[in-house]
Structure 1
Amino acid sequence: MTETVTTDADQATSAETFQTLNPATGEVLATLPVESAQQIAGKLADARAAQQWWAQIGFGARKERLLKWRTAISARIEEIAEVIHREGGKPLDDARLEVILAVEHIDWAAKNARKVLGRRNVSPGMLLANYAASVSHVPYGVVGVIGPWNYPVFTPMGSIAYALAAGNTVLFKPSEYTPLVGKWLVESISEVVPEHPVLQLVTGLGQTGADLCTSGVDKIAFTGSTGTGKKVMAACAQNLTPVLMECGGKDVLIVDEDADVPAAVDAAVFGGFSNAGQTCIGTERVYAHEKVYDDVVARLAETARSLVPGDDTGASYGPMTMPSQLDIVRRHVDDALDRGARAVVGGRDSVGERYVAPVVLADVPEDSLAVTEETFGPTITVGKFATVDEAIKKANATRYGLGAAVFSKSRGELIAERLRTGMVSINSVVSFAGMASLPFGGVGDSGFGRIHGADGLREFARAQSIARLRVPIPLNVTSLARRPGMLKMLGKAVAKRFGA
């Protein structure tokens, strides 16, 4: 069934449109407007008016409305999962899991915003002991969220829910590959918050995202590739608009000599092949201790061979959502094999017109594209290490630094603490993403800033400090009428207190 969502008003302002397709079949699902800078400006004005009301109603009323949204989405999981499946290609179970995780984050943000962002007293210190000091976090205003196609509900919700809980309103530009998912989210919240448009949809292509960046929004939260992230930052620099960047990754899974190998392999397969490997925190590299390396490779091969990509209910994973990604996967596999890598599972012929069959590569040179660049497909490279130091060196030899996993019975935390990443799972994979209390984000080319948890709430609010005079005292050091010698005397008192 094809859905057309253009309107006369849309066409009056912008005649350009784009289509969203089912990646498994090529079926046109909808035609949507490429919104202009003028249209974005109109939505921004509406968002500013809405934000005044949204901020004024306070934490309690926002919590009530966000929890209603959580409940509404929970009651319609099957409906939104079907939209995700048709527009993004992932199996329905993967879509269901994504929505369930997103609901958890709405719940956490709504319930913890006051505690994290509300005004709290702090010590004024000795010098100004006659003052009261406090700090709170106030909303930026209107936040622009540019979302990805690979997790079109879960990932942008890490910005949307937290921004709304903090008192902001949001202009949400979903990926042009999954705009109907974004449309569904916007319509669902309007049903429980009918008073004002606290979350609005912006549809279009790359230029639309650029126009959103320069529209005058108060912050941009971006999720996407590192290359596009740099363009977003450059556009935001024109207005000194602050940015949150959640970019790509080249995540590693380390299997220590005392690891539970079957569990490690099961995690690697899920991390590497679920969602057709189109996961920023997905497992792309595995390093196994030399004592368990052969066992890891054999088990990986056995499990990977059993995976079947497709669009039916029995499929292990779906098609590549973005057609251009097929060329990147093909190039990485070809480069590795040309340079001496061994195809344990699959190979050059694994890359088809819509799907990529599982690929497991061993003996891959560490400077090959399959090891150094984000592949974003159902491929895994497997390497060997003799010592923990070697494993750490190989794991950290990347400009990315998003997530990682470590399987070890005795040295998990010791290894995890040495990894140059924002997040690590020990004896599991990607578990940190499902914990709403944990911050999510990376370092290096994986970006900066954090979504989720208390850090995620603070990401969408600015600190405001207030110092209030409680009791006037004669010793007023912030006055030019102070007595001569006052600061000299005070200096002696400080030296006595803090001196050796």
Structure 2
Amino acid sequence: MTTLETGTPGTGGTHSAPDAFDSLDPATGEVVGTHPIADTAAVDAAVARAREAAQWWSGLTFAQRRTHLDAWAGVITRRIAQLADVMRAETGKPHSDAQLEAVMAIGHLTWAAKNAPKVLGRKRVPSGMDMIDHAATVEYLPLGVVGVIGPWNYPVFTPMGSIAYALAAGNAVVFKPSEFTPGVGAWLVDTFTQAVPDHPVLQLVTGLGATGEALCRSGVDKLAFTGSTATGKKVMAACADTLTPVVIEAGGKDALLVDADADLDAAVDAALWGGMSNAGQTCVGTERVYVHEGVYDAFVARLTDLAATIRAGTDPDAQIGPMTMPTQSAVVRRHVLDALDRGGRAVVGGPDSVGEKLIQPTVLVDVPEDSIAVTEETFGPTLTVAKVRDMDEAVRLTNASRYGLGAAVFSKRRGMEIARRIRSGMTAVNSVIAFAAIPSLPFGGVGQSGFGRIHGPDGLREFTFAKSVARRRMPALMAITSFTRTAKTDKILTTLTTLRHGRG
């Protein structure tokens, strides 16, 4: 099968050896670092080491694991500026955005460590009248070894949503970062080793698509993947051979809905941040905006004015940086041109704003709903803004997408009502992307956006299996599960069942 390529590293450096690859600064093309390409044997060896480490790690108490994970969080926090520098070097994003990403990841790490015992620990559950002579308990036990394939757009926050929760649940982890951000992955694993020096509980394997495929086929107990929908399908196919369960966090085409009573200044600010931050390279970023006709003109005017103040660049004052993946600029250009060819208008930016490395903000209006700028994930600093009669039409158009990751609603009266009608895994009301920063909320999508959840109690349980135990606590009142069961016992059972359930 085709290897799990998510892209080809940029063209600025030369490989020092055939079994190594370079990570490049997307702004300059200069080599940031050189990393080994882990082949199948290397991946299998890492998984084998993880199996041994998992026995030790899972044998610790929740409190002991929390001590180690809190120590790791402390190391990351004390060196957060350094981590932001590594992120900026490999992704091009502004230092302040990289630092914000790290802060959010630390919040999730500490939440997972603190809440794991409450979510996963053994609990008594009701036995029911028929089994009153038994006590019942359920707990959630670690799977063993979890493989994580991370993305390049948020190389700390996103993979940590799987890594932190899998570790807190008692698993060992083998982490394959994106080929665009291997240095970030190495930094995370190196700092973890400072907190847990004696056992390879978190390991790194770097490489290209073939390395990711090897991890899928390595026999890990679960594989968590974040990336494009197309690559997610390849991950599922590779994992199917070993019946390895997967968590897929794939693409999105998130919409922001603006009702007639919305706070327009707040909605404009949120739409611009949701669409343009991180150069639009955000899976839960805003790509479509549906605005009530009563406030459409005012919204577009304010959005146009504010967008004019946002600039992409490589200098410290630029609000957004270069495109991390070299091929993405061509995708953005194709979407913008299709929108314009089909009758859309650019009120900010346009084709001339799409450079090879830098893309200036672009806002498109009057774009047909069947344009690829509306139907496909653009993953660049662009927005399409459409006028709708009411929120019923806005919800219908939002839900017409094959994706269903995140969304946002701005409305003073009906925000919660509208949010519940949107087919998406997460929705923010009167804010944007807020759900990602709340550790207690599960994160994931529906449809072509994937399945499974990270973050929150669901994210902890995602990397466990439920262990149910029924224990006899008193002599049997009736021999039910026995060949000694009598006709009298059958009659009593049916009589009791009729009395309890037969009235309806």
Under TM normalisation by the shorter chain, which class is it?
over 0.9
Q: Partner of 1:42 in structure 2?
A: 45
Report the Cα offset of residue 488 of structure 1.
Answer: 2.5
1:233-264, CA deviations, whole angstroms, 9 ceiling, x for partnerless residues?
00011011000010110001111000000110
Q: Partner of 1:274 in structure 2?
A: 277
Q: Which amino acid aligns with 1:236?
A: C
Partner residue of 1:462 out of 459, 462, 465: 465
Q: Partner of 1:118 in structure 2?
A: 121
Partner residue of 1:310 out of 313, 317, 324: 313
Partner residue of 2:224 out of 221, 225, 230: 221
Count of aligned pairs: 490
Local SS of the residue matching 1:417: helix
- Is 2:192 the partner of 1:183? no
- Distance in 2, Cα, partners of 1:281 & 1:36: 32
Local SS of the residue matching 1:216: coil
1:452-479, CA deviations, whole angstroms, 9 ceiling, x for partnerless residues?
0000000011101001111122511000
1:433-452 matched pairs, under 5 angstroms:
433-452=436-455
- Is 2:381 the partner of 1:372? no
- Distance in 2, Cα, partners of 1:413 & 1:264: 16
Q: Partner of 1:383 in structure 2?
A: 386
Q: Partner of 1:297 in structure 2?
A: 300
Report the Cα offset of residue 484 of structure 1.
Answer: 2.6
- Distance in 2, Cα, partners of 1:199 & 1:188: 10
1:71-470 matched pairs, under 5 angstroms:
71-470=74-473
Local SS of the residue matching 1:171: strand
1:268-297, CA deviations, whole angstroms, 9 ceiling, x for partnerless residues?
110000000000000101111101101111
1:334-367, CA deviations, whole angstroms, 9 ceiling, x for partnerless residues?
1000000011011111111101111100000000
Local SS of the residue matching 1:257: coil
Q: Partner of 1:31 in structure 2?
A: 34
Runs of 4+ in 1 over 3 A off after TM superposition: none
Local SS of the residue matching 2:131: coil
Report the Cα offset of residue 45 of structure 1.
Answer: 0.9
Local SS of the residue matching 2:130: coil
Local SS of the residue matching 1:46: helix
Q: Which amino acid aligns with 1:202?
A: V
- Distance in 2, Cα, partners of 1:308 & 1:247: 28
Local SS of the residue matching 2:487: coil
Q: Which amino acid aligns with 1:403?
A: G
- Distance in 2, Cα, partners of 1:409 & 1:294: 19
Q: Partner of 1:481 in structure 2?
A: 484
Q: Which amino acid aligns with 1:259?
A: A
- Distance in 1, Cα, partners of 2:225 & 2:470: 35
Report the Cα offset of residue 223 of structure 1.
Answer: 0.2
Q: Which amino acid aligns with 2:47?
A: L
Report the Cα offset of residue 487 of structure 1.
Answer: 1.6
- Distance in 2, Cα, partners of 1:313 & 1:324: 24
Report the Cα offset of residue 57 of structure 1.
Answer: 1.1
Report the Cα offset of residue 195 of structure 1.
Answer: 1.8
Q: Which amino acid aligns with 1:402?
A: L
- Distance in 1, Cα, partners of 2:39 & 2:122: 39
Any conservation in 1 of the 2:146–2:171 contact (CA below 8 Å)? yes
Q: Which amino acid aligns with 1:56?
A: G
- Distance in 1, Cα, partners of 2:36 & 2:120: 37
Any conservation in 1 of the 2:259–2:390 contact (CA below 8 Å)? no
Any conservation in 1 of the 2:25–2:91 contact (CA below 8 Å)? yes
Q: Percent identity?
A: 61
1:144-180, CA deviations, whole angstroms, 9 ceiling, x for partnerless residues?
0000000000000000000000000000000000000
- Distance in 2, Cα, partners of 1:130 & 1:341: 70
Local SS of the residue matching 1:476: coil
- Distance in 2, Cα, partners of 1:151 & 1:19: 19
Structure 2: 5+ residue stretches without partners: 1-12
Q: Which amino acid aligns with 1:475?
A: M
Report the Cα offset of residue 299 of structure 1.
Answer: 1.0
Structure 1: 5+ residue stretches without partners: none
Any conservation in 1 of the 2:365–2:385 contact (CA below 8 Å)? yes
Q: Partner of 2:7 in structure 1?
A: none
Any conservation in 1 of the 2:213–2:235 contact (CA below 8 Å)? yes
Q: Which amino acid aligns with 2:415?
A: G
Any conservation in 1 of the 2:152–2:177 contact (CA below 8 Å)? yes
Any conservation in 1 of the 2:149–2:177 contact (CA below 8 Å)? yes
- Is 2:21 the partner of 1:18? yes
- Distance in 1, Cα, partners of 2:192 & 2:412: 45
